[in-house]
Each structure stands twice: as structure tokens, then as C-alpha cells.
Amino acid sequence: MKVRLNRFLSESGVASRRKSEEFIKEGRVNVNGRTILDLGTSIDTDTDIVKVDGEKVKPEKKVYFLLNKPKGFITTTEDEKGRKTVVDLVKTNTKIFPVGRLDYDTTGVLLLTNDGDFANFLMHPSNKIPREYKVALDKPIEDEHRTKLTKGITLEGRKGKFEKIYYAHKDYKDKLVVTTVEGRNHFVKRMFEALGYTVKKLERLTYAHFDTKGMPIGSYRKLSDQEIKSVYAQYKH
């Protein structure tokens, strides 16, 4: 399989893609015994031998985790303020990263992996991967606003909408479940804020067809290759 050299290094756990480019520029990377300085170099992962500082690079096995994210963790791999990150919750020797983001105080379904292609597939807008959220508002929602949210409103010059919206409990109009295929930052909160509501609590119930039913908050499980294949099978155009 042909891939860019910097991507191969990154996905093999050597360093970030940017750092890998620095290694290449510094002449620390060679392929089949030849020092590579061209950042645009591609390699064949099946046949080419890549070394960094004389050490052979072995491709890492792809891993996938489903986490029931608790509050109080940021969705990143590291934090300059020293706050706890979601990566701290998953015990693995493989360098992983979260797929997309959930806010510090948002809970629920979060996927983590070392597979950049899978992450990009899930997040790319053209694939329209659904995400379902349970929302608690600061006040009951008006019926006309529910309708507006499914028809679409403008956020920063672009139309956004919920695919579905319904009450989480029939007796409480401030608790809703919404489905969206949007991945923009703070999208659910900003949609409600645009109509004068504040989201007091937010939980992601599903992403694609993954959910955390039966999983205690803060727990995680490894996903099987078959589960990953089923995502491609269901959503690939």
C-alpha cells in the first residue's frame, strides 16, 4: 500500500506528522538504505524498509476504542494546562487520538484510534455520519423553535439543522434528543444558543451505530475489526 512517508511515520507511532516532517528534513529518515529529504516522498508499506536514526520502523496495528466519556476530561491527546485528557482513561501502549471532539463537560460516546483513515471517514462531512445527543436546556423549548431546528438555521454564514428532534421525556419540554450529521465545533450548543437557549447538560448517545449502553461512565472497550468494517459497509457511498 502506497502512503506518504510522513504519514507512515505518524501512524507507526514515531511522532506526529509535523514532527515526522522535521525528522525527514534533518536527514534522520532513510528508505531502503537511502536518506530521504523530500517531504513529498511516498513509500510502499508492504515492501519498503524505513529506518529513523538507524532503527527500523514497524507499522503499528490499528486499534479502536469506544469510551463512555465522563465530565472533566478534555478531548485531546495532551494539554498545556495539565488538565486530564480522554487518552488518560484508556490503557494502551499504542499512541491513540480521539475522533472529533466532545466538550470538557459533555459526556457519552467517544471513539479513539490510531487509524487516521477511519477517523477521517467518520468526520468527513460528505459521509453524513449521524450523531445522536441527549440535551437538557435551561427552559422548555417552544414548538416553533423545534420546527426551525429541523428546517435549518444559519450559523456563521452556513446553514445547519438537526435531522431529528424529539422529547426525551414527554412531560419535560426542556429535555430533548437530537440527531445531526454535523461535526462543527460546539454545533449542538450553538444551534440552541442561536434561538435563545442554554444547554445545561449534553450527552452523546450514539456516533454512527456505536453506543455505550451497559457501559459505566469512564469505562471503555476495544472494538473488533468486524465492527469497524460494518461502519464502512453502512456509510460508504
Rounded Cα distance between 19 and 34, Å, is 20
Q: Are residues 120 and 223 in the same domain?
A: yes
Whether 12 maps to a domain, the answer reads: yes
Whether 77 maps to a domain, the answer reads: yes
Percent of the chain with pLDDT over 70: 100
Whether 212 maps to a domain, the answer reads: no
Domain limits for position 14? 2-56
pLDDT at 1 over 80: no
Q: What is the pLDDT of residues 124-169, one digit of tens each?
A: 999 999 999 999 999 999 999 999 999 999 998 999 999 999 999 9
Which of 10-24, 94-108, 172-186, 196-210 is least confident? Answer: 10-24
What pLDDT, on the 0 to 100 scale, is given for residue 17? 84
Q: Report the CATH number that the domain containing residue 146 is assigned in CATH.
A: 3.30.2350.10
Residue-by-residue DSSP string for 21-58: HHHHHTT-EEETTEE---TT-EEETTT--EEETTEEP-
What pLDDT, on the 0 to 100 scale, is given for residue 15? 85
Angle at 133 between CA 194 and CA 98, to 5 degrees: 105
Q: Are residues 35 and 141 in the same domain?
A: no
Active-site residue set? 103
Whether 162 maps to a domain, the answer reads: yes
What is the average pLDDT score of the chain? 94
Question: Would you tell me the crossing angle of helices 116-123 and 225-235 to the nearest 10 degrees?
Answer: 40
Class of residue 20 by CB neighbours under 10 A (exposed 0-12, middle 13-18, buried 19+): buried
Q: Are residues 138 and 203 in the same domain?
A: yes
Q: Which of 9, 48, 13 is nearest to 31 (CA)?
A: 48
The count of structural domains within the chain is 3
Rounded Cα distance between 106 and 139, Å, is 19
Q: Are residues 185 and 68 in the same domain?
A: no
Q: Are residues 82 and 135 in the same domain?
A: no
Class of residue 60 by CB neighbours under 10 A (exposed 0-12, middle 13-18, buried 19+): middle
Q: Report the CATH number that the domain containing residue 40 is assigned in CATH.
A: 3.10.290.10
Q: What is the pLDDT of residues 192-227, one digit of tens each?
A: 999 999 999 999 999 999 999 999 999 999 999 999
Q: Report the CATH number that the domain containing residue 117 is assigned in CATH.
A: 3.30.70.580
Neighbours of 55 (CB within 10 A): 9
Query: In a 3-state reduction of DSSP, which class is residue 116?
Result: helix
Q: What is the pLDDT of residues 160-177, one digit of tens each?
A: 999 999 999 988 999 999
Whether 135 maps to a domain, the answer reads: yes
